[in-house]
Every structure is written in structure tokens, then in C-alpha cells.
Chain A
């Protein structure tokens, strides 16, 4: 389901780009508004192109930030500007048909950006609160550390060896640097998808492809000894209570009942009632 929604959205937002020539053939009512719509179509197409082409490895935030910002800008213009006094462009483009191409296209871009938490990677503009194209110091630090680490791996890497001991030995310092920065900050802020993906790849490479992370298991003799001791304790406990606790019995109270033969009207068929034979169970 989610897959289809996304495909449709992609299709819808690429539509103006694919058929850009046809737009000129439309009956133009208001040039300013239609020009802006055309701008929006081109810019959103550019963003979509950028996003999809940077899907693997994920670099959407870093690479597409400028085109995202321009999409937002033109969208804001369309929704806020008035072509003539009292006449908003928005009213010509939005809420006119059930397809809502303009809104859908914008929502798709917005959602993609937000899902990737891209805003978190960029320094925010003090005045407007909007992201700028400037990466934050923390992200820069991680990216720098990553490139140092990449360089190191490239230098020592031997494709046939696994674990690649040379890399493991020489690059562990670099790996630890980048890992520590990430782990330290992970609890406090939500990293953008670029950084998360970078880390995932780095870690996969380190633990998986390079096999540098497989010596974590230790014998742990002490723990196993304690655990087996604790495991035996209940049996000792139950055995002790079984042998040391005296059996307790309770006296049965006899209910006072009428035992006499009852003739006549009160006579009822005799039935067989047995007391429970086994109370020991």
C-alpha cells in the first residue's frame, strides 16, 4: 500500500516536469500565478530528481538542500502573494479539483524531507527559523571523522583477508572516534538520515565486511559458576522443606445431620454418596 502511494505521488509530482511543454498550451488567466506554478513545477522536478539519484547511499540532505529550499520559497510565494489586490494565487491553484496536484506535489517533498529529519543537520536561520545550507558543527565533525576513517581503510585494506587484521589494528582509533561521537550525541538529538545511514554503513563494514568486531565474547567462568549455583538452590530448598516440615493434618468436623429413617411423604430414594476416597492426591 505504502509503496503504491509513494509511486503515485512520485508520478504526480514528475508529471509537470515530463510534460512541461504542454503547460504553454493552457489558457492563461493570470500570468504571474501561472508563471509561479511553472517555477514550482520545475523546481519540484529538480528536487525529486536530486533525491532519487542520491537515494543510495543516502545523501539527500547534503545534496538536495538548496533545491529543497527553493521549492519551499516558491511555495510560500504562491500561498502568500497576491497577484492583484485581494486575489491570491492560491485560490486559483488550490481546492479546485479533487486531484489537488499542486498540494500533493508539495506534500510529497515536505514529507520526504521531514521523514529524513534533514532539518536537524543544518544550522537554522536565527530570524526565520528555517534551515540554511550550512551544516552544523556536529555533522561536520562526523563527516570529517568519517573521511579520515575511510582514508585509513583504503590505505590498509586487503580484500582477501577477513578479518582484515591490518585495518582492524590501524583504523580502530579512527573508527572509535566516529562511533563515540555518534553514540554520545544519539540520545540528545535526532540525527538526519545522511548521518544515520553513514554510521550504519560504517558499522556494517567494520563488523561485517572487515570482521573487526568478533572478539567480544569472553569465557565468563565466574558468571556461569554463580548461575549454576543459583539454579541448584531451589531444588535444595524444596528438598529440605519436604524432609524437614512435619506433615500437618486437620480434624474433620462432623456435621450434625438427621440420620433417622423418614417414612411417608418425606421418603426419598436412597442414593449412593461416597466420601472422597483419596485426600492425599
Chain B
């Protein structure tokens, strides 16, 4: 090899930026920026310097930001290593692998997708049955107490029982979420979306999270909160996929010693996309919807062969769920239980052409209501992030929500006397309240059952099942409660509350139309409830094709696809005019550096030079252990370029005023360095490019949680040893030239799922490094103005 050992060179010519020089270079840079006045240059259009927007030197003073803002990205999130590191040890492994091994890998990949489908369905069934059983007991107790007390002036007794049961379950659920696994809060869809798009969310796919999520969602739904179990199923599917494909769990400290060859970010992420799809499929009985969900939400990089495997997992999931539920319901083999939530069978879903205009109007209403939902919820979440940070306060808040939910239900049952004849008893627990004998209270029927059953009731009940007054009061209170509920420390999804509120006002619309056109045969309140539900949901989550297909599959009627699509499209357009989509807003609030579908419109004027990290901390191909340890301890970088000697001084203006640090040889990751140090793979102990190498299996065994450098004990006498990085580095990392525009870099990152991108000059000398964080910080200006916003970074958020 070339004269690459740093020890042989004269000391005044540093080829590699060592930590000491690195700090020196920083100070030089800040001096330079002082002389320059502004980091950002001046506005090109107006040529008017703006002293407020362009603070001259305060940028060096440490700024602070308040918690709960969308303009700050959190530094704790890291990218996945989706790009496979093609180093020498990998090549050696590939060369020695047999045909059998490749076949086994292929078969086990399909086998894992099969298992993902089955286990996801199993978890869904367990959650469903637990909710079912507990809910029957709960509503039975409340009904008995209500029936007993209604004529004896002691309604406070059933009220207190109702409230107590709600609070008890929610207490358990929120306690688990707040104290055991906070990442299990909410629906989990935003986090899964981030993961699928290449951002690692800590603890997202751990077994412990799955447990808290599943138990938590049972508590939420049985506790009567306005939340569904559908969103959490998607998260649960993702965890199951990650768990099965890795063949080990850190939470229960077990390594099954299977599927070791899948222990890398690339494979894991692909399996997780299948798990998310299986979760959607189990939740809605929508296998195609599941695939499209993974494609739409997680497909900034995607492999076509994955589509087919994911569809397999989804179909298996729907089938297994169906089979298990049929056994539970005592009719084994009668496969009519599609999904946890299905909209039931609509006899007729015909529509006249002119109704499409009505659907568009309803879509627009859904967009407006959805934006209202998002905006108020956003304000609440910001408040919570700022003022409700202590864990026990979160638990108290959740219990308060549970208490108020029970109160609202009870007061409505008490005040609204909407009596319906019992007939064939559409509800399981008909409550008479102040109705005559042989009648039941329609409000109590809506409150005292699981929200899924209420959605179905609004879709399918006879046209006269609820009075307009009931529907108005119910919809408004449910909407308000669900806005308040999302974001408290429980695991609950957003689908059901949106569907239920939407079905409420949709049915009301149907009733109103029936009032205006009494003879029209096309008016069916159930149909309008479905359109309203779709509009409301579309206005909040703003998903496009996947949501349409999910709804079509849950409805089981392909003919109604066009009306649903038109409704959802209008809802999305109208909603997008007012606010950001619900999940994206939550992602922004959490400060996740997620790359959107398109680069910011005006970012074409930015280039790699302005965006990149500088100066770069690099290593020589054979590096001393002391340098490595110092670098790892002092910096948080995860990728280090490996550069060769040049005759340039690192801080000299090597090319057009651009200091470079040497010719690019490769790229090595922090995790690889940690494993190397951990296993003492030094040149002095016999590990070198020509000698023996640390096998790839050792790297896989440490995956996915590597230890910190400070946790590794290194004797002082070993500090002067050297490590040969060449067998482990990626010899051909992706690079861009220093003039590349931001949109090009953006697309490279998105399409390839990159983590690091080296910026080089035309002589292939390293000048800077780009990571996802450097790109995600540019965002289109909010409403009305043209330009690019640059976000802050903060370490603790």
C-alpha cells in the first residue's frame, strides 16, 4: 500500500484531521465568519440587508428554543444503515457462501413473512378478544346499575361505577405507557412512517413496546376513551416483524440463534414494512390496503420484489385473523370475520351521478373539520410538551380525560331522551332510562358499546334509529373528546374516533337530505354516514391511495370506490390548504428529520458546499487506536471518511479556497469502529488488510445496539496500537461533487436510503460530509411566502 501510516510522516504535515486540529480548524472558521458578517449571505432579490433576520454574530452565541415547536429538529434521531456496506469482509463471506445458503436465505425470507402474518393476526385476535370480554363485563355492570337506579334517584351510583371503571383501566394503560415505554403512546403510525423512511426511532420495535402497546390499547378501549385499536395494530405488526426477522429479543434477553444473516438495517427495515402492512391488513381486513400503506408511507426507497412478499404477509394475516375469529365465535372455518374493523355488509351502495357533487361538498366539510381537529390538537400537544412533562402528571391527565369521557356520556344519557322501540334489539345492552317499557335510549346505545360497534350502527341502523338531536350532540361531543384525547399518554389510534365523528355528521347529512327530498330513493343515511366517515378521516390523516383502498376493502364494495376516492381527494385538498397532515405535524413536533416527498421548491439554489458539514473528521487507512478513541469520544458523528495522504496542509486553501483533507479511500461507520475496538482487532494482534480479518458475524452479533466507546475498557498500553480499517470500510461510498444542488442530494438520499454522503472535489478529495440531518433542516416556507426555512437543531427534545 502507499505511505499511509501516519506514524512515518513528518509531524508538520498532517494528512488527517485529528481531534486537536479539528478544534483548531473550528476556531479558525469562526474567526472567518466574524470577518464575513453573515453566514447566509444577503437577500439576492431586494439587496436590502435585514438586520433582524440576519443577525451578524449572535449565531455563535448558544441559542435556545422552547419545547414544543415545529422548527427544531432533534439530534437524537439517526438514520438507518440501509445502504449495505460492501467491504472486504462482506465480499469474503459472499464468495464462500454456498448455493444452499442462498436458497436457505430465500426460503427463510418467505417463511418469516408467513410468520409475520400469522403472529400479527394472533396479537390482533388476543387484543380483540380481551376488549370484547372485558367490555361485555363492563357494560353489563353499568347497565345493571343504571336499570336499578333510574327510578330511585340514585343515578350517581351507576355514574360513579362508570367513571371508576373508565379511570381504573386508563390508569393501568397510561401508567404502563408513561413509566414503562413512552414510545408506545398514540397510534405509532408517525413513528412507523419515520422508521420505514429510514430514520431510526429508539426503542420503537422492541418486544417491550409491543407488550405495552397491546395491553395499553386494551385498557384504552375498555376504559371508554375515544381511541381505536387499529393504528396500534400497525405498530404492533412492525414490532412483530422486527422481532421475528432478527431471531432475538433484547427485552426478554433471548437469542434464538436463527436468521442471523438478516441482522442488518436493510433486511430489518424491509421486514418491518411487511409487518406494518400485515398490521393494516389485520386491522381493516384490507390486504391490498396494507401493501399500499407500506408503499405510500414508507416507500422513499423500495424494492419491487418486496411488494409481492408484503402482499403475502398481508393476505396471510387477514386469513389467519379470519380463521381465529371464526373459531372464537364458534363457527370454525366460516371465514366472514374480515379484520378487526369492518364496515359490515351494505346491501346496496348505488349512487346517482349528481350525488358526486354532494360527496365533494362533504369531502370539503371533512377537510375543514379535519383541519380544525388537527389545529386544536396541535395546540394541545404543544401545551402538553411544555407543561406536562412529569410522568405522573401524564397519568393524572389521562385519568381526567377518562373521567370526563364517562361524565359526558352519562350527562347525555340523562338529558337526551331519544327513545326507540326495542324491536330486534340492535344493541347488546339496551338501556331504558326514561323511555317507556319496550323502548331503549338511543344515546345510551351509542355510548355503552365499543366504538367499532357504534360506527357499524351508524352505517347500518334503520333510517330512524337516532333522532337528529342525538346525532348532533353525539358527534360534537365525540369530536371534542377525540381532539382532547389524542396525545395523552395512552396507546390509542385516530382512525376510529375520526370514523365515528364523521359517520355522525354524515348520517345527519343523510337525514337532512331525506327531509328536503322526502321521495328520493337515493338517500340512505347509512351511505352518507360512510361518506362522512371517509371525509373526516381523509381530512385528518390525508393519506391518499392507501386510505381509499382500505376503505373500499373495509366496505367490501368496489363500486363505491369512485365516490370514496372523490370524497377523500377533496378532503385532502381542502385540508392541505389549511394545515399540515396530522401525522406529519406530529413528526415535526417530535423533531424527526424525515425527508418529505419532494425537496423544498426553492432549495435548488443551495449546493453541497453550503449545506455540508465542515470540517470533516477523517481517519487514515491505518489509524492509531488513540486517535479513534479520541474521535469517538469527542464527536457524535457516525460516519468517518477514510482518506489518503496528500501533500496539502489540511487547512490550506487547496482548491478555490476550499480546504480539503485528502483523497477519499472509503467510509467507516462508528458501529464498525466500536466492534473493532471491542474485539481488539489491532494490527499488533494480527488483524490487518493482508492478515486475518474480524468476520462479519461479529458485527452482526452486536447489532442492533452497540455499546458506547466510554463503556469499553482499553488499557493505556494498547492506546498506541494501530487498527487497519481497510477490510471493514466501504471502499466505494456514494459521493457528490461540491457543486451538486440540494434537490439532487435530497433525491439521492431518499431513493437510496442513504445515511452519509461524502462531498468531494473534482480530484476526489474530501471537503465535507452530508447526513440526513443536513438536508431535512431545509423546509419550504409556511403559507404564502416563497423561500426556504432553515430549522434549528437541538440535542434533547
Contact = CB atoms under 8 A, between A and B. Distances in A.
| A, B: real partners | yes
Contact of A250 (B150, B404, B739, B796): B796
Contacts of A253: 75, 792-795
A247 B67 CA distance: 8
Contacts of B45: 272
A257 B607 CA distance: 13
Nearest to A278: B71
B593 to A, nearest CB: 12
B489 to A, nearest CB: 14
Contact of B609 (A206, A262, A271, A275): A262
Contacts of B44: 269-272
A238 B380 CA distance: 10
B410 interface: yes
A277 B727 CA distance: 48
A268 B610 contact: yes
A189 interface: no
Contact of B66 (A203, A227, A264, A280): A280
Contacts of A96: none
Contact of B792 (A199, A231, A252): A252
B159 A227 contact: yes
A268 B153 contact: no
A55 interface: no
Interface in B712-743: 738-739
Contact of A252 (B389, B421, B794): B794
Nearest to B605: A271
Interface string B578-619: 000000000000000000000000100111011111110000
B64 interface: yes
B303 interface: no
B657 A275 contact: no
Interface string A243-281: 001011111111111111111111011111111111111
Nearest to B403: A230
Contacts of A278: 71
B144 interface: no
Nearest to B59: A254
Contacts of A268: 605-607, 609-610, 739
B32 A259 contact: yes
Contacts of A219: 153
Nearest to B615: A256
B416 interface: no
B67 A266 contact: no
A181 to B, nearest CB: 13
A123 B151 CA distance: 38
Contact of A218 (B151, B389, B602): B151
A252 B657 contact: no
Contacts of B403: 230, 233
Given A249-B67, A257-B612, A271-B602, A265 B656 contact: yes
B27 to A, nearest CB: 11
B713 to A, nearest CB: 29
Given A245-B388, A276-B789, A257 B39 contact: yes
Given A251-B794, A279-B72, A206 B612 contact: no
Contacts of B72: 250, 252, 279
B436 to A, nearest CB: 3
A183 B64 CA distance: 68
Nearest to B390: A245
B613 A250 contact: no
A160 interface: no
A223 interface: yes
B156 A200 contact: no
B202 interface: no
Interface string A211-240: 001001111101100110011011001100
Interface string A157-191: 00000000000000000000001000000000000
A207 interface: yes
A250 B67 contact: yes
The size bracket of the interface on A is: 35 or more
A231 to B, nearest CB: 6
Contacts of B43: 272
Contact of A261 (B150, B657, B773): B657
A128 interface: no
A257 B787 contact: no
B461 interface: no
A226 B795 contact: no
A204 interface: yes
Contacts of B59: 254
A252 B387 CA distance: 20
Contact of A227 (B40, B411, B789): B411
A223 B767 contact: no
B436 A203 contact: yes
Contacts of B60: 254
A247 B787 CA distance: 31
A207 B436 contact: yes
Interface string A83-114: 00000000000000000000000000000000
Contact of B613 (A257, A264, A270): A257
Contacts of A27: none
B414 A248 contact: no
Given A258-B767, A271-B44, A217 B434 contact: yes
Contact of A263 (B160, B611, B657): B657
B605 A266 contact: no
Contacts of A216: 150-151, 433-434
A273 B787 contact: yes
Interface string B410-426: 11001000000100000
A214 B159 CA distance: 22
B657 A260 contact: yes
A241 interface: yes
Contacts of A242: 383, 387
B391 to A, nearest CB: 13
Nearest to A268: B607
Contacts of A272: 40-45, 787
A109 B149 CA distance: 45
A92 B791 CA distance: 87
B64 A249 contact: yes
B438 A263 contact: no
Contacts of B396: 237
A101 B439 CA distance: 41
Contact of B606 (A200, A230, A237, A271): A271
B69 A230 contact: no
Contacts of A222: 154, 156
Interface string B394-414: 001100110110010011001
Contacts of B66: 247-250, 279-280
A256 B657 contact: no
Contacts of B389: 245, 248
Most interface-central of A223, A273, A281 (chain B CB within 10 A): A273
Interface in A132-177: none
B84 interface: no
A207 B438 contact: yes
Interface in B751-792: 762, 767-768, 773-774, 787-792
27 contacts: A213-B437, A220-B153, A223-B156, A223-B414, A230-B404, A237-B396, A241-B393, A242-B387, A249-B66, A252-B65, A253-B792, A254-B59, A256-B29, A258-B29, A259-B29, A261-B657, A264-B656, A266-B656, A266-B658, A270-B44, A271-B788, A272-B41, A273-B790, A275-B53, A276-B71, A279-B65, A279-B71
8 pairs of A and B residues whose beta carbons are closest in the complex: A207-B436, A270-B41, A203-B438, A258-B614, A276-B71, A272-B43, A218-B153, A223-B156
Given A213-B436, A270-B42, 7 more contacts: A203-B437, A218-B155, A223-B410, A256-B615, A258-B29, A269-B44, A273-B788
Interface of B: 26, 29, 32-33, 36, 39-45, 52-54, 59-60, 62-72, 75, 150-156, 159-160, 163, 382-383, 386-390, 393, 396-397, 400-401, 403-404, 407, 410-411, 414, 421, 433-434, 436-439, 602, 605-607, 609-615, 656-658, 738-739, 762, 767-768, 773-774, 787-797
